[in-house]
């Protein structure tokens, strides 16, 4: 995530996206082993993302709230 110290106003919501590519920040990911500069539209395949979790190995997103000045 390139953004640090982002401010969310009261009532705003955030969304977490899980993806296998940083496009459009960096290069596209066709999800197959191919030469990306020469990839044709039909070379690009959809990706299935999975999040593995267990009760004893919990994880999450930490959001810190700063006090009002």
For residue 40, tell me if it sits in a domain: yes
68 within domain boundaries: no
Number of domains in the chain: 1
| 67 assigned to some structural domain | no
pLDDT (0 to 100) of residue 42: 92
Give the C-alpha separation, 5 to 66, whole Å.
10
What pLDDT shows up at residue 8? 82
pLDDT classification of 2: cutoffs 50, 70, 90: low
pTM over 0.75: no
Judge whether 69 lies within some domain. Answer: no
pLDDT for 24 equals 64
Tens of pLDDT, residues 17-66: 887 777 666 777 888 888 888 989 898 888 888 888 888 877 777 878 77
Domain extent for 19: 1-57
């Amino acid at each position: 995530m390139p953004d640090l110290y982002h401010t969310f106003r009261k009532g705003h919501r955030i969304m977490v996206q899980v993806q296998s590519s940083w496009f459009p920040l960096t290069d596209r990911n066709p999800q197959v082993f191919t030469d990306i500069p020469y990839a044709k539209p039909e070379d690009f395949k959809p990706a299935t993302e999975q999040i593995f979790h267990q009760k004893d190995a919990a994880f999450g997103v930490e959001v810190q709230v700063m006090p009002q000045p």
